[in-house]
Amino acid sequence: MGIDTNTANIVNGLALYDAVTATLAWFDTLRAIEECINLPTADWDDDEFEERLYNLALPSLLSDPRPLLALRPKLVAKFSETFANRFQNLMIQGAMIGTALSHHRLFELTEGFLSVGTMIGYFQSRRRHFVAMLHTLPSACRGRQIVHPLDTLNIFVPLIDMQALQIVGAQQALLINAARARLGLPAAPDCELAMLDGFFLEPERSRITEMPVTEGTLAILATREPQPSDRLFSAAELRNDIIATEAAYSEFDLAATEFGSAAAFVRQVSHEFVERDFWVVIQPKELERLFHEFKLSDRLRAELVRSSADYATNLDSYAPFVLIDGSYRSTVSLLSRFIYFWRSRCLDRSKRYQIRTGFIFERAVADALERQWFAVQKITRINRHEFDVVTLRNGMIWNVQCKNNMTDLAWIEAEPTRFARYNRNLVLAYERALAKERNREGVLTAHLGNDAVEHMLVSRFPVVTDNSRIVAFSQIDDFATRADAILANRKHDAFR
């Protein structure tokens, strides 16, 4: 089954449904899904309750809902009756679709609906697809069949898992095949392109969690406003997310870039158009007024509002607004997602940002290696020779280069030949860099008094290659395993 067939199946599968009820019902479900994903951030101060919560078995709820109902008082006390209702409905939906998948012997998919804990993992892995579906519904749904909130997972999850994931898989296969052919490598069906990390996040030059905390950062963070304690999302949290982003990247004067106008726009939306502390509803004339008031560029406007019946196109969209039933609708969580995306768009072309985040990336790599029992050495320069991350493990020197290469993922992935060309350029550059390190390894061995040395390279941008010494940062947690395999096959290592 090809990309065109899968795309047609999504279009045909959605064509039966009424666009308004489908979109609004999916909005409701997305809220419950986001709340479910963020449940682990809540401070329950009750280990026994948390164990019951995350281990709650879903399949048996259809015959005996009492374990679910037993959680309700605590959920109501922590959040609200309406929160507990959303959680309860989502669990019932999860139990229903898990049972249906099991009946169809789709056991791998069924694993995502075994418990609250596994469902959180499932939802996290499909987040990008859930938002893509939201953007697809207004244009693709052309029928009259009403969609009820309790039916959304049963209707849309099969389309995502049976069709949409196949589209992504086929697209990645095209990229991999083109890249391997460009490198002169044979086809390899098991070869993967590790674009997403363990949290299913795309690569970026420097995550907010990697940025150093300075006195300036803390001063900006001190301006955050109090947030309601009885909800996971709120307009106040959205505004605080903006402050946190401005604080983390303050050394690059983020607020002075086009991010500043986007932040001012979103802040105004959060004050003027948020309903029930979560939903955003704006009439087209009002949205246009805000565009003019905050002097938003055409580029920014285009990123805020996108709509397409093509699912694959929507996978690359971070637009927070959806036009449905004559109004632009969004949520505080979608606006927060957009703000974080727009930050990278505004900073990635800055040369100073590229250079500075290169050093931050080295620290992130070093931290990841320390967690795997590599002893990071305080070596950055030896006799005019610069090194990124030098470590010791079991008597072996591991000299690790860090390449913080990054590009527009949507642009580079849109055309296999373009991706293959970019991939080849990176791989050849990386292999030259590794060869250079081998040629000067005597500097390290003399300094550390150890002749046993291996060279590795960690790339922020995942590349297609058979060189096991080139590691994607998205797979950094497997570095030790990769290192052990290299030592075990040292005699047969073509890249040594």
> Mean pLDDT lowest for which of 67-71, 142-146, 447-451?
447-451
Q: Which of 308, 323, 347 is the last residue of a domain?
A: 347
Residue 479 is part of a domain; what is its CATH number?
A: 3.40.1350
Place 413 in a pLDDT band, splitting at 50, 70 and 90.
confident
The closest of 406, 434, 495, 349 to 195, measured between CA atoms, is 406
> Which of 49-53, 96-100, 208-212 has the largest mean confidence?
49-53
Q: Are residues 365 and 257 in the same domain?
A: no
Say if residue 103's pLDDT is above 90. Answer: no
Q: Are residues 44 and 119 in the same domain?
A: yes
- 72-90: pLDDT as tens digits: 999 999 999 999 999 999 9
Q: Are residues 288 and 404 in the same domain?
A: no
Are the CB atoms for 320 and 337 separated by under 8 Å? yes
Q: Are residues 384 and 482 in the same domain?
A: yes
Distances (CA, A) of 353 to 114, 195, 349, 430, 476: 44, 22, 8, 22, 23
190, part of any domain: no
Q: Which of 156, 174, 192 is the last residue of a domain?
A: 174
227, part of any domain: yes
Q: Are residues 211 and 311 in the same domain?
A: yes
Q: Are residues 271 and 393 in the same domain?
A: no
Task: State pTM to two decimals.
Answer: 0.92
The closest of 400, 494, 405, 390 to 447, measured between CA atoms, is 390
Say if residue 284's pLDDT is above 90. Answer: yes
What rounded mean pLDDT belongs to the chain? 93
Give the number of domains in the chain: 3
In order, the DSSP letters of 175-195 are HHHHHHHHHTPPP-TT-----
Give the model's pLDDT for residue 492. Answer: 62
- pLDDT above 90 covers a percentage of the chain that reads 82
Q: Are residues 334 and 428 in the same domain?
A: no
Q: Which of 286, 315, 347 is the last residue of a domain?
A: 347
Q: Are residues 21 and 170 in the same domain?
A: yes
Q: Distance (Å, rounded) from C-alpha 82 to C-alpha 200?
A: 29
Give the model's pLDDT for residue 486. Answer: 94
Q: Are residues 224 and 322 in the same domain?
A: yes
Q: Are residues 134 and 226 in the same domain?
A: no
The closest of 129, 126, 161, 153 to 26, measured between CA atoms, is 153
Q: Are residues 211 and 246 in the same domain?
A: yes
Query: What is the domain range of residue 334?
Result: 204-347
Q: Are residues 12 and 104 in the same domain?
A: yes
- For 454, the token pair is 């291996």
Give the model's pLDDT for residue 197. Answer: 67
The closest of 339, 129, 114, 139 to 242, measured between CA atoms, is 339
Place 202 in a pLDDT band, splitting at 50, 70 and 90.
confident
